[in-house]
């Protein structure tokens, strides 16, 4: 007999009421003789009676003896030794033919009063009699089909256990003490199981582990698998059975495979059980397969099962949601019990690279891991952010989780909210945008008060805690969500920006829902001064929407919000400090933009002002507060203009603006008589003259610049451009885009100082005040023209159809002339400022809209206006007088001849960039004296000094942020046709105009190319650019691509012709005269310098545009850009070694064409300019980098396309390396070098680095240059006429080459170390060939560093020694990271590894000597790098010792004091008498390694005597 393993008690199971529609076939009954049957029954009864069992019991089941174990022993002996066994079985079979008798023997017996408390049936006791067990089992199983149809088919209730004979029979087989023949019994049971009805089949399957034990698991699993294929509805009991079977590893894997195959076919209601089984069965070997299959086949969508919907028609979607909730609960509970699952899920998600590989279930898995506990939250947050930034988790996935699925997501609401907080605090803009979307979605979907309050409090608490930390205040809200403290208390502005962006979005859609939460919102108004300008706009936008809704309702709470908001902004605009005044103006204008919309004109009460009237009153308040401050008024005009361009305001407001602008003519304009001044009156002793009159005698008006600049009303000129900007915007809005009502301003002249003052004699006769008036007059005229261009360029860009073609042509001609006026004025102003330094007044108050500048930042140049700006009234300039006096007293050399401390003002004034405002009409005598002294030492206006026409002026560049910005509409000038009625078609006459615009375009590109960097170019960017997105910017400059290429071709042709083609000076004069410029013979363009600048600027613009992320993402923009820069001759793609050949028009074809175009330019400019050739090379490198980024973003579906891209990339990299090599090997003469090799070290470094990094065999190239080429230079006199194969390698560029070789070698070593470490992790055992290859590559790196360091022995430059110490230490650091790899393979490659150590110690000994000498000579350039290098050398020493000690090759190691030698190997005899000898021993630990009799390896610090 076989004993069964004792198992746990079976779980209680409920029976199903389902019965199959047709009864299954029954097992045939045996035909016995009646008499024989009676005798057999009597014999059976007597046998039981002899054992103390009374079978016939009228009161119930048979009565068992008090000792049933005695009955079993007696029956076992009887049936083993006599023939009564067959008679007993026959009698028992006959007895149970009656269903009542069968039920009696199956029911539990009570036994005697003194018997055991546990009662079992008679059949149960008989089954424990070994000789008859198998026969009884088969007999009972054959009886089982007779009771399949006991339950009616339409019954919805199940029978009790006492009434259900089939279940009673199965119950007898559970937990038997032993099974005599498990195989036969199992076969018979499975045979009967195959024909059982569903409810009984489930019962039996679930009980199989309790019935058959562990002997036939393979048979059971195979049979259950077959049943699953036939009827998937038995999946739940099958899984229960699998869970309770004691399986070996092979069968367990088979069971997992069966379960995984059911994921695709299982009913939704059974999915939780299947997932729970799979996850709890996971082991280290199969966990990855389980997770992958679940992710692949679990379709987490709300598609109900047909039978479930038919059964639950009234419940509808709720049942489906409950099923999904059960699935999530099963996943969550399983993840809680198995930490292995959590780690594997994160690994699985981290391994996914493409967005298409991510599914909704991934989002839920992250949420479940995040919900389960604190231990996994950090890891989940990192993965979640990474996937968002990579674009793998997208908004549509979040929608599928939450939108329309509130009941399912409700339980995980706080987890979603917490993740939103984390994502919102990330630095990456993409992550913050996703966090904004999460917050908005949570607020919209969870409409209950609690959820919305949680979302709102979280957002506003983020804002408040950020200020709490900066101001060290306390707030009760901190206790509500203390978890926010760690990330929102970091005082990072972009977190606040994102939070306010959410609230602005919610306020525009759900203002009514936010009003009850105003208690939390109003607190932000207490912290406005800590916000950036961009965030101020968002705050006021939130409150403006709430105030608008409040005014249209009678709610007292809402009314209080509006009243409080109005009170705050009125207080702010009334504040004398410009910082607070700007805050109030922002608030007023944002409120006006909300209240003043034409559709929002109602009010809740007839006694209340309308929204439009309230807006007009606010505008009047703001305007009145600005009358004492020019900069405030400029800011007011510019922001009001921005509102008009984006919002349609009510006619009442437009009428008020029109009335205010009616004063423009009386303030700034005067009448002309036949195009001439009616009288000539001097202004402050200066004669006036009409400049730049484009309309001639027809001009009725002129602009009064000189009269205003020389009077007490000079401040009005400061807001003139902003006032005109507002005027032109209103004119366009009221006349369908046409500026016909003010077109006289485009051609009207300007009253400026007479041009005679720009001659030498006249200029020197002027006083300091008069010179300042002249400079300021030019400055105001220049900015007036800038605003004219901004306004009238909108008339020719095709935006408005109401303008006739004749008008457009006339405007185009005038715009070109105005551009010539602008270039002329700026060149003249630049030269004038160099002779008379003056601080220009600020005409544009820069407002940062990207969240990087605080409005109250103390040291920002844009926020010094209150202290230094000119006031509207002359008596308010007294503080400036005191300031000037103080400055004069602290000048470098006083009037008494004594030396005084030089101030910052003096330094900046000498550089032509003064940072403080000066008032032109209030100049003291000392100022005049200073100005005169400056004039005496500066250039003067005379005919021998040429004033170059160039927009790139160093004297004005530092003050460009004060200018009025050029808007993007001005770039349309680049697209104008070049038809000139002149004596020749000289492009030089037009290039200065285009250069001016291209230079400005590059500044705007700098803003978008590095949005997080605070570069100087960002400080002078127009608000119109900061307000727009990069997509909008690209859409506006997209038409310019072909014009840029045309101008590049023009400048290239001029440069190629060189000095042989004399510029037609008459052409420039003719165009200048036609534009109304004064006839100054010394103001001429320089064709070479302008063409060079155009060439460089366009290439720079092309490079920056190629590497903009949006350009790479939008193929249409990228195609247009590349299409514009194609070569004149079509590219022959068939000649390229690329398969398949790229088709014309594809991205890869266009990249090849653009690179070929740049290569052609590079080859041509090599003949006359090293600088231009370098610019072309850098442009080519940008194109290759851009192609690499585009290739990285390719979808991985099409392998052919990817292969073609890889081939093209390899081709382009090779071309780039060849071009860099060509520049390095080109023989440059002094004429082409532009002032020789001086100041070209950085450029040579970039070229050399490009050559090295893009070469295919970089290690061999490094080895050649460092070991062969560079030592020749260091051992010679380093004369520039020496040729070492690289003409760019000379004494002036030697250090540049040295630095680059060190840095690139370090980069190569770092990549090699990473490769070694990665391969060691993936494949612990390397093939010997691979190890040998890696050691060879490592040896080349060591050879390079040894050669470079050894040059210090023959080169005395301290800078060279400092680089050797610095980079030598870094090399040792990187080398040590590969020491584990060397130690693993030391036994098989000991010779190669020992050679590495020996060679490297040649460099370390030299570095030790360099450190010692630098300390003795007190060379601070070197000594600052010694500590880090010393630590690296000591680590190397002990790692070598550990390496040799751990090997069993008999190596010995010792350290000792060696002789002190200098770089040339001479013993330093004085060290015995120097007091710091002990220090030198401590600083230079020395030792040696005796490896074997054939050689030794000195330690890292050894100075061997035979050196």
Instruction: Mean pLDDT check: name the lowest of 577-591, 1324-1338, 1484-1498.
Output: 1484-1498
Overall average pLDDT of the 305-324 stretch: 45
Q: What is the pLDDT of residue 1248?
A: 92
pLDDT higher than threshold 50 for residue 944: no
According to the per-residue pLDDT averaged within each range, which of 393-397, 496-500, 871-875, 1465-1469 is highest?
393-397
Q: Which of 544, 475, 462 is nearest to 508 (CA)?
A: 544
According to the per-residue pLDDT averaged within each range, which of 420-424, 982-986, 997-1001, 1473-1477 is highest?
997-1001
Q: What is the dihedral of CA 1315, 1321, 1323, 1326, to 10 degrees?
A: 60
Q: What's 597's DSSP letter?
A: B
SS3 842: coil
Q: What is the pLDDT of residue 952?
A: 61
Q: What is the pLDDT of residue 49?
A: 85
For the chain, what is the total number of helices (H) and then of strands (E)?
Answer: 68, 11
Overall average pLDDT of the 363-375 stretch: 85
The answer to whether the Cα torsion of 453, 458, 463, 469 is positive or negative is positive
pLDDT higher for 935 or 1254?
Answer: 1254
Please enumerate in sequence order all residues whose Cβ is within 8 A of that of 1403, keeping only pairs 6 or more positions apart, or say none.
Answer: 1342, 1345, 1346, 1349, 1350, 1368, 1371
Overall average pLDDT of the 1330-1344 stretch: 88
- Bridge partners (DSSP) listed for residue 1454: 1488
Q: Which helix (H) or strand (E) holds 670?
A: strand 669-671
Distance in angstroms (rounded) separating the CA atoms of residues 640 and 588:
10
Q: pLDDT tens digits for 476-507?
A: 223 222 222 233 234 566 777 777 777 777 77
Distance in angstroms (rounded) separating the CA atoms of residues 998 and 1005:
10
Distance in angstroms (rounded) separating the CA atoms of residues 560 and 562:
5
Q: Which of 790, 810, 808, 788 is nearest to 800 (CA)?
A: 808
Q: What is the pLDDT of residue 1105?
A: 92
Distance in angstroms (rounded) separating the CA atoms of residues 1372 and 1474:
30
The answer to whether the Cα torsion of 306, 308, 312, 316 is positive or negative is negative
Q: Which of 211, 208, 213 is nearest to 224 (CA)?
A: 208
SS3 688: strand
pLDDT higher than threshold 60 for residue 30: no
Q: What is the pLDDT of residue 956?
A: 81
Distance in angstroms (rounded) separating the CA atoms of residues 447 and 400:
18
Q: Which helix (H) or strand (E) holds 244?
A: helix 235-244
Q: What is the pLDDT of residue 1217?
A: 93
Q: pLDDT tens digits for 1260-1313?
A: 999 889 888 888 875 455 444 556 678 888 888 888 899 999 999 999 999 998
Q: How far is CA 843 from CA 643, 789, 999, 1022, 1261, in A?
A: 19, 16, 20, 12, 56
pLDDT higher than threshold 70 for residue 652: yes
Place of tokens 């990271």: 1377
Q: pLDDT tens digits for 442-458?
A: 877 776 555 555 655 56
854: left (phi over 0), alpha (psi -120 to 50) or beta: beta
SS3 636: helix
- Bridge partners (DSSP) listed for residue 773: none
| Confidence band of 914 (pLDDT split at 50, 70, 90) | very low
Q: What's 1461's DSSP letter?
A: B
Distance in angstroms (rounded) separating the CA atoms of residues 669 and 667:
6
Distance in angstroms (rounded) separating the CA atoms of residues 1355 and 1371:
21
Instruction: Mean pLDDT check: name the lowest of 273-277, 704-708, 1154-1158.
Output: 273-277
Instruction: Mean pLDDT check: name the lowest of 77-86, 191-200, 426-435, 872-881.
Output: 872-881
Overall average pLDDT of the 108-137 stretch: 72
Q: What is the pLDDT of residue 470?
A: 36
Q: How far is CA 990 from CA 966, 979, 994, 1072, 1124, in A?
A: 19, 11, 7, 11, 21
Please enumerate in sequence order all residues whose Cβ is within 8 A of that of 1025, keeping only pairs 6 or more positions apart, or say none.
Answer: 965, 968, 1004, 1007, 1033
Instruction: Mean pLDDT check: name the lowest of 992-1006, 1160-1174, 1312-1326.
Output: 1312-1326
The angle at the Cα of 770, spanning 767 to 773, to the nearest 5 degrees, equals 155
The angle at the Cα of 1348, spanning 1343 to 1354, to the nearest 5 degrees, equals 125
Place of tokens 């599914």: 359
Rounded to the nearest integer, the mean pLDDT of the chain is 75
User: What tokens appear for 1193 in the block?
Assistant: 């973003």
Q: Which of 676, 682, 854, 691 is nearest to 780 (CA)?
A: 691
pLDDT higher than threshold 90 for residue 1319: no
pTM comes to 0.74
Dihedral pair phi/psi, residue 947, rounded to 5° = -100, 105
Start-to-end CA span in the chain (Å): 88
Overall average pLDDT of the 294-314 stretch: 54
Q: Are 982 and 1067 in contact (CB under 8 A)?
A: yes
Strand blocks (E) in 1143-1256: none
Q: In 946-1038, where does DSSP find H-type helix?
A: 954-957, 991-1009, 1023-1026, 1030-1037
Within 13 Å of residue 456, how many CA atoms lie on the same side as its CB? 27
Distance in angstroms (rounded) separating the CA atoms of residues 1089 and 578:
43
Distance in angstroms (rounded) separating the CA atoms of residues 1166 and 1177:
11
Q: pLDDT tens digits for 1380-1398?
A: 888 888 878 888 888 888 8
pLDDT higher for 1086 or 51?
Answer: 51
pLDDT higher than threshold 60 for residue 1100: yes
Of all residues in the chain, what percent carry a pLDDT higher than 70? 73
The angle at the Cα of 870, spanning 868 to 871, to the nearest 5 degrees, equals 120
Q: Which of 1458, 1441, 1369, 1354 is nearest to 1407 (CA)?
A: 1369
pLDDT higher than threshold 50 for residue 309: no
Parallel, antiparallel or unpaired: strands 1083-1084 and 947-948:
parallel
Q: pLDDT tens digits for 1455-1496?
A: 656 566 777 667 766 544 344 433 433 334 333 333 333 334
> Would you tell me the crossing angle of helices 611-625 and 533-551 to the nearest 10 degrees?
150
Dihedral pair phi/psi, residue 1280, rounded to 5° = -70, -20
SS3 63: strand
- Bridge partners (DSSP) listed for residue 121: 108
Q: How far is CA 1197 from CA 357, 1145, 1202, in A?
A: 12, 21, 9
pLDDT higher than threshold 90 for residue 730: yes
Dihedral pair phi/psi, residue 1406, rounded to 5° = -65, -40
Distance in angstroms (rounded) separating the CA atoms of residues 83 and 88:
9
pLDDT higher than threshold 90 for residue 787: yes
Instruction: Report the residue count for the chain.
Output: 1507
Q: What is the pLDDT of residue 1159?
A: 92
Overall average pLDDT of the 195-217 stretch: 82
Concatenating the DSSP letter of every residue in 102-164 gives HHHHHSBP---TTS-S---BHHHHHHTSHHHHHHHHHHHHHHGGGGTT-S-TT--SPPPTTT-
Q: What is the pLDDT of residue 953?
A: 66
Of all residues in the chain, what percent carry a pLDDT higher than 90? 14
Instruction: Mean pLDDT check: name the lowest of 715-724, 881-890, 1145-1154, 1245-1254.
Output: 881-890
| Confidence band of 719 (pLDDT split at 50, 70, 90) | very high
Instruction: Mean pLDDT check: name the lowest of 22-31, 455-464, 511-520, 1244-1253.
Output: 22-31
According to the per-residue pLDDT averaged within each range, which of 86-95, 205-214, 786-795, 897-906 is highest?
786-795
Overall average pLDDT of the 303-330 stretch: 53
User: What tokens appear for 978 in the block?
Assistant: 């070049």
User: What tokens appear for 1292 in the block?
Assistant: 């002036």
Instruction: Mean pLDDT check: name the lowest of 23-37, 443-457, 788-802, 1437-1451.
Output: 23-37
pLDDT higher for 462 or 353?
Answer: 353
pLDDT higher than threshold 50 for residue 818: yes
Q: In 1254-1357, where does DSSP find H-type helix?
A: 1258-1264, 1270-1274, 1294-1322, 1328-1350
| Confidence band of 543 (pLDDT split at 50, 70, 90) | confident
Q: pLDDT tens digits for 552-573?
A: 665 545 557 777 888 888 998 8
How many Cβ atoms are within 10 Å of 795's Cβ, its own excluded?
Answer: 26
According to the per-residue pLDDT averaged within each range, which of 511-515, 1113-1117, 1246-1250 is highest?
1246-1250
The angle at the Cα of 1292, spanning 1286 to 1297, to the nearest 5 degrees, equals 55
């Amino acid at each position: 007999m076989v004993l069964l393993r004792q198992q746990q008690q079976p779980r209680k199971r409920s029976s199903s009421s389902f019965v199959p529609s047709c009864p299954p076939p029954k097992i045939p009954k045996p035909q016995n003789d009646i008499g024989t049957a009676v005798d057999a029954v009597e014999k059976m009864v007597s046998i039981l009676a002899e054992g103390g069992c009374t079978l016939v019991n009228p009161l119930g089941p048979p009565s068992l003896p008090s000792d049933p174990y005695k009955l079993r022993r007696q029956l076992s002996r009887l049936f083993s030794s006599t023939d009564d066994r067959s008679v007993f079985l026959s009698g028992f079979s006959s007895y149970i033919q009656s269903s009542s008798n069968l039920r009696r023997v199956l029911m539990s017996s009570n036994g005697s009063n003194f018997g055991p408390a546990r009662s079992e049936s008679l059949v149960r006791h008989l089954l424990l009699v070994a000789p008859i067990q198998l026969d009884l089992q088969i007999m009972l199983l054959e009886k089982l089909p007779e009771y399949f149809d006991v339950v009616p088919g339409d019954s919805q209730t199940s029978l009790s256990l006492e009434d259900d004979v089939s279940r009673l029979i199965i119950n007898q087989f559970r937990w038997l003490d032993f099974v005599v023949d498990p195989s036969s019994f199992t076969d018979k049971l499975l045979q009967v199981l195959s024909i059982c009805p569903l409810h009984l089949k489930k019962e039996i399957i679930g009980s199989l582990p309790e019935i058959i034990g562990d002997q036939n698991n393979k048979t059971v699993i195979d049979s259950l698998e077959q049943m699953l294929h036939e009827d998937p509805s038995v999946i739940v009991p099958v899984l229960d059975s699998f869970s309770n079977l004691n399986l070996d590893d092979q069968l367990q894997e088979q069971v997992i495979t069966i379960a995984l195959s059911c994921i695709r076919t299982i009913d939704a209601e059974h999915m939780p059980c299947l997932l729970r089984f799979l996850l709890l069965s996971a082991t280290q070997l199969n966990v990855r397969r389980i997770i992958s299959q679940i992710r692949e086949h679990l379709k987490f969508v709300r598609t109900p099962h047909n039978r479930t919907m038919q059964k639950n028609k009234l419940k509808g979607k709720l049942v489906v949601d409950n099923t999904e909730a059960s699935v999530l609960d099963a996943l969550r509970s399983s993840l809680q019990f198995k930490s292995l699952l959590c780690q594997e899920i994160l690994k699985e998600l981290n391994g996914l690279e493409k967005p298409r590989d991510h599914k909704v279930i991934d989002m839920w898995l992250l949420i479940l891991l995040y919900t389960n506990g604190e231990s996994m939250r950090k890891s989940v947050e990192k993965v979640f952010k990474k996937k968002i930034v990579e674009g793998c988790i997208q908004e549509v996935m979040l929608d599928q989780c939450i939108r329309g699925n509130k009941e399912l997501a409700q339980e995980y609401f706080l987890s979603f909210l917490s993740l939103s907080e984390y994502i919102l605090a990330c630095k990456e803009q993409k992550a913050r945008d996703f966090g904004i979307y999460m917050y908005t979605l949570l607020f919209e979907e969870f409409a209950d008060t609690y959820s919305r309050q949680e979302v709102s409090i979280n957002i506003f608490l983020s804002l408040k805690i950020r200020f709490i930390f900066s101001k060290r205040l306390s707030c009760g809200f901190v206790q509500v969500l203390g978890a926010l403290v760690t990330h929102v208390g970091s005082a990072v502005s972009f977190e606040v920006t994102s939070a306010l962006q959410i609230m602005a979005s919610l306020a525009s859609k759900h203002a009514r829902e936010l009003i009850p939460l105003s208690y939390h919102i109003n607190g932000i108004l207490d912290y406005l001064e800590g916000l950036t300008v961009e965030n101020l706009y968002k705050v006021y936008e939130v409150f403006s929407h709430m105030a608008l809704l409040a005014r249209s309702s009678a709610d007292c709470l809402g009314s209080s919000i509006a009243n409080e908001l109005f009170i705050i902004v009125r207080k702010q605009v009334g504040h004398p400090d410009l910082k607070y005044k700007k805050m109030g103006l922002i608030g007023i204008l944002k409120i006006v933009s909300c209240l003043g919309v034409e559709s929002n004109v109602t009010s809740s009460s007839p006694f209340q002002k309308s929204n439009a009237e309230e807006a007009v009153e606010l505008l009047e308040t703001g305007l009145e507060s600005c009358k004492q401050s020019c900069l405030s008024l400029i800011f007011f005009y510019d922001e009001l203009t921005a509102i008009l361009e984006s919002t349609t305001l009510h006619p009442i407001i437009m009428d008020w603006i029109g009335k205010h602008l009616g004063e423009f003519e009386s303030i700034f304009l005067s009448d002309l008589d036949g195009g001439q001044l009616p009288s000539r009156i001097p202004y402050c002793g200066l004669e006036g003259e009409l400049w730049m009159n484009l309309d001639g005698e027809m001009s009725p008006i002129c602009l009064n610049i000189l009269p205003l600049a020389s009077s007490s009303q000079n401040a009005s000129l400061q807001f003139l451009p902003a006032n005109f900007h507002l005027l032109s915007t209103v004119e366009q809005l009221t006349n369908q885009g046409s500026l016909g009502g003010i077109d006289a301003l485009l051609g009207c002249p300007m009253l400026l100082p007479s041009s005679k003052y720009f001659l030498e004699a006249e200029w020197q006769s002027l006083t300091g005040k008069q010179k300042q008036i002249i400079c300021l007059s030019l400055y105001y005229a220049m900015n007036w023209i800038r605003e004219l261009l901004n306004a009238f360029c909108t008339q020719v860009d095709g935006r408005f159809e109401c303008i006739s073609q004749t008008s457009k042509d006339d405007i185009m001609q005038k715009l070109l002339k105005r551009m010539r006026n602008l270039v002329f004025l700026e060149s003249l102003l630049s030269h004038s400022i160099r002779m008379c330094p003056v601080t220009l007044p600020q005409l544009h108050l820069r407002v940062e809209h990207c969240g990087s500048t605080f409005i109250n930042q103390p040291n920002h140049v844009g926020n010094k206006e209150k202290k230094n700006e000119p006031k509207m009234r002359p008596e308010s300039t007294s503080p400036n007088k005191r300031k000037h006096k103080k400055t004069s007293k602290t000048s470098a050399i006083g009037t008494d001849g004594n030396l005084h401390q030089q101030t910052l003002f003096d330094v900046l004034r000498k550089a032509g960039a003064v940072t403080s405002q000066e008032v032109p009409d209030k100049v003291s005598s000392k100022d005049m004296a200073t100005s005169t002294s400056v004039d005496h030492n500066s250039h003067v206006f005379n005919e021998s000094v040429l004033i170059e026409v160039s927009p790139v002026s160093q004297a004005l560049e530092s003050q460009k942020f004060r200018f009025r910005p050029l808007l993007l509409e001005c770039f349309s000038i680049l697209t104008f046709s070049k038809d000139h009625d002149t004596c020749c078609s000289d492009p030089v006459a037009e290039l200065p105009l285009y250069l001016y615009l291209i230079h400005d375009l590059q500044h705007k590109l700098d803003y978008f190319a590095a949005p997080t960097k605070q570069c100087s170019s960002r400080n002078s960017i127009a608000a119109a650019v900061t307000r727009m997105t990069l997509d909008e910017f690209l859409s506006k400059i997209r038409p310019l691509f072909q014009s840029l290429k045309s101008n590049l071709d023009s400048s290239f042709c001029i440069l190629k012709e060189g000095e042989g083609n004399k510029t037609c000076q008459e052409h420039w004069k003719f165009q200048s005269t036609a534009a109304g410029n004064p006839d100054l013979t010394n103001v001429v363009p320089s064709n070479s310098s302008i063409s060079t600048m155009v060439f460089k600027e366009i290439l720079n613009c092309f490079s920056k545009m190629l590497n903009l992320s949006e350009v790479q993402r939008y193929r249409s923009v990228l195609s247009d850009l590349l299409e514009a820069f194609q070569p004149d001759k079509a590219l022959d793609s068939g000649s390229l070694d690329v398969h398949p050949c790229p088709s014309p028009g594809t991205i890869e074809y266009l990249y090849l064409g653009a690179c070929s175009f740049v290569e052609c330019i590079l080859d041509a400019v090599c003949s006359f300019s090293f600088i231009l050739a370098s610019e072309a090379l850098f442009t080519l490198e940008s194109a290759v980098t851009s192609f690499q980024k585009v290739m990285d973003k390719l979808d991985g579906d099409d392998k052919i396309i990817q292969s073609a891209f890889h081939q093209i990339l390899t081709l382009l990299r090779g071309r780039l390396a060849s071009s860099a090599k060509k520049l390095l090997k080109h023989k440059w003469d002094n004429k082409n070098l532009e002032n020789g090799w001086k100041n070209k070290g950085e450029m040579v470094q970039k070229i050399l680095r490009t050559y090295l990094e893009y070469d295919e065999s970089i290690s061999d190239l490094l080895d050649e240059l460092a070991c062969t080429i560079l030592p020749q230079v260091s051992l010679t006199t380093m004369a520039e006429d020496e040729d070492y194969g690289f003409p760019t390698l000379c004494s002036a560029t030697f250090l540049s080459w040295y630095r680059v070789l060190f840095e690139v070698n370090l980069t190569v070593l770092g990549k090699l170390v990473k490769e070694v470490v990665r391969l060691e992790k993936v494949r612990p055992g390397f093939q010997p060939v691979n190890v040998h290859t890696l050691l060879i590559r490592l040896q080349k790196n060591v050879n390079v560093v040894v050669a470079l360091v050894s040059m210090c022995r023959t080169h005395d430059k301290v800078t060279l020694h400092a680089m050797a110490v610095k980079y030598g230490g870094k090399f040792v650091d990187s080398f040590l990271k590969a020491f584990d790899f060397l130690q693993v393979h030391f036994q098989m490659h000991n010779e190669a590894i020992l050679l590495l150590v020996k060679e490297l110690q040649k460099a370390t000994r030299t570095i030790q000597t360099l450190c010692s000498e630098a300390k003795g000579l007190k060379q601070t350039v070197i000594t600052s790098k010694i500590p880090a290098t010393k630590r690296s050398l000591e680590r190397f020493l002990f790692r070598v010792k550990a390496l040799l000690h751990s090997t069993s090759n008999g190596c010995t190691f010792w350290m000792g004091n060696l002789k002190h030698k200098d770089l040339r190997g001479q013993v330093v005899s004085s060290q015995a008498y120097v007091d710091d000898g002990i220090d030198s021993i401590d600083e230079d630990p020395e030792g040696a390694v005796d490896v074997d009799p054939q050689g030794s390896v000195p330690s890292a610090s050894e100075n061997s005597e035979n050196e």
